[in-house]
Structures are given as C-alpha cells and as structure tokens.
Structure 1
Amino acid sequence: MKYMLIMRATDETYAASRDVDFSEVLESMGRFNDEMIRAGVLVAAEGLEDAAKGVVVDYSVQPPVVTDGPYGETKELFGGFWILDVASLEEAVEWAKRAPMAGPGSKAEIRRVASIDEFPQDNEWIRKEREWRVATGQL
C-alpha cells in the first residue's frame, strides 16, 4: 500500500528554521531519504517552494478565481511530501516518527494513496488511465 507523508509547518516553524544552516537541513533529510531508499519503501519525495510564490484556485465561484499566495489561513502549510510503499498504516507511522522534522507546529499528515485497482475497472476513464500507466511504465 502506498501512503503519503505530508510535511506540515506553521509560520512559527518557518521562522524558527530561518536560523538553521540549510546544509544541515539537506544532510538530515538526505540521510532520512537514503534510509527509506535502502529499505525499499521510498516511491517519491519532493519539497515545495514558499507558499508566497504559489497561487490558489478557488472553485467556489464560477469562473474559478485565482489569487496569489500565501493562502488566507496559514496556520499549517503543506511544505513537501514523501510517498512510501509499505505494508500498513502502522509502518507509515513508524517512518513518519523518524522524519527529521522539529520545531513549533511541525507535523506530518499521513494519507493512504488509493490504487487504480480500487476503482470500477469497467469505467472508460479508469481503462484509459490504466492504458496510460502501462504505456508510461507505471504499471
């Protein structure tokens, strides 16, 4: 099963991390990622650019409205993610507990990634997605 570990932080977390040497951050994240690679559980991992450089698309109105970041509510920002292929939620939790994240407001949200096999296989769009995944080497 695949699980996404979503790195979450607050404005306080980002403020506290400004004093940390970036090479130290890269070192700790690199070691953690290497550990997951060696264990064979890491599928993908990415960090995200500052929310202030992003945009928000609001679908509550038509046509959708696009506004510049940061978001209206910045209590917790999504800062990056790992996707792990592990046997259970419990195993994903164990990996998340080892992540090199610290500071006020630092959290990791864990969400299972649904497999294409869980959707109705007779659906035209699921068949097309499966064909695309096969053609791109994802299945």
Structure 2
Amino acid sequence: MKFMIIVKASKDSEAGVMPSEALLTAMGQYNEELVKAGVMEAGEGLHPSSRGARVRFANGTHIVTEGPFAETEQLIAGFWMWNLKSKEEAIEWVKRCPNPMPGTEAEIEIRQVFEADDFGAEFTPELREREERLRAEIESRKA
C-alpha cells in the first residue's frame, strides 16, 4: 500500500523560515531509516504558499489565485511517499518522526493512495494499459 504523508504548514514555514541545522540533521537521519527499511519512495519540502498559486475550475473557466493563502492550518509544508503494509504501520513510522515544526504543535496527515483496483470496473483494461504505459515512460525518463 502506498501512503502520502503530509506535513502541515505553520506560521514559520509560511513565512519562509528555514529549518535549523539540528532539524535538518534529525530529518536526514529519519529519512535514512525510512530508506534503509524500504519504506520511503519520495519526500520533499515545499516553498511557502506565497510562491504558489491555485487554479479553480468553474463553469468551464479557470480562475487563478496567487498565494499566499490565509488558512495556514490547511496548507502543506512537505510530504513523503511511503510504501507500507498498513495504515497502522504508517502511524508507527510517523510517531518516530522528529517534530517538523520544533517548538510548536505540528501535524502530519496520513493518506492512502488509490491503486488501480480501487477504481472498479470503470477503470477498463484499456485505461489500465494506458496508465501502465505512462508509468513506464516516467520510469524510463528517470534513468
């Protein structure tokens, strides 16, 4: 099972405050544990929402809103992609994570990623084949 682990933003992360060397070191060690355990597939920090944008789809139009966005508690500061056996295993790994926002209350959200079988009959063999071709193309570009 694949999970996206979402690190929620804080006032500091939205203000562009960079993590300390101590936090970078602790996170680096944690990421090493994840990689050695075969859990981590990807992980990145995100720039503040002031450097982002949102595109809203409404009535056949696209409405672009430039950041920053006010609702800090709903914003994302970073993420990991993990491959695990269960949500419970993801929870145990997250509990081992250093506080991503030291000195504050921080929140990490765990969300399971859909797999092909989750979509049912609507995900036809033709659509599955197309998806597999795209994934293979993505992998070939990494090499």
TM-score class, shorter: 0.7 to 0.9
Q: Secondary structure at the match of 2:64?
A: strand
User: Are the structure 2 counterparts of residues 130 and 117 from structure 1 closer, same or farther at C-alpha, using a change threshold of 3 Å?
Assistant: farther
Contact 1:116 1:130 in 2 (8 A): no
| Offset of residue 36 of structure 1 | 0.4
User: Are the structure 2 counterparts of residues 2 and 48 from structure 1 closer, same or farther at C-alpha, using a change threshold of 3 Å?
Assistant: same
Runs of 4+ aligned structure 1 residues displaced above 6 Å come to: none
Which residue does 1:113 correspond to in 2? 113
Q: Which deviates the most, 115-124 or 79-88?
A: 115-124
| Offset of residue 112 of structure 1 | 0.4
Contact 1:55 1:69 in 2 (8 A): yes
Query: How far apart are the structure 2 equivalents of 1:90 and 1:8?
Result: 20
**Paired residues, what number?**
136
Amino acid at match of 2:132: R
Contact 2:42 2:80 in 1 (8 A): yes
Q: Quick check: which one's helix share is greater?
A: 2
Which residue does 1:131 correspond to in 2? 133
- Over the matched positions of the two proteins, sequence identity in percent amounts to 36
Which residue does 1:75 correspond to in 2? 73
User: Are the structure 2 counterparts of residues 9 and 15 from structure 1 closer, same or farther at C-alpha, using a change threshold of 3 Å?
Assistant: closer
| Offset of residue 137 of structure 1 | 4.0
Which residue does 1:38 correspond to in 2? 36
Which residue does 1:63 correspond to in 2? 61
| Offset of residue 79 of structure 1 | 0.6
Q: Which deviates the most, 96-105 or 47-56?
A: 96-105
Contact 1:5 1:110 in 2 (8 A): yes
Q: Which deviates the most, 37-46 or 129-138?
A: 129-138
Instruction: Indicate the RMSD between aligned Cα atoms, in angstroms.
Output: 2.6
Gaps of 5+ in 2: none
Contact 1:56 1:71 in 2 (8 A): no
| Offset of residue 29 of structure 1 | 1.1
TM-score norm. by structure 1 comes to 0.82
| Offset of residue 15 of structure 1 | 7.9
User: Are the structure 2 counterparts of residues 77 and 2 from structure 1 closer, same or farther at C-alpha, using a change threshold of 3 Å?
Assistant: same
Contact 2:9 2:72 in 1 (8 A): no
TM-score norm. by structure 2 comes to 0.80
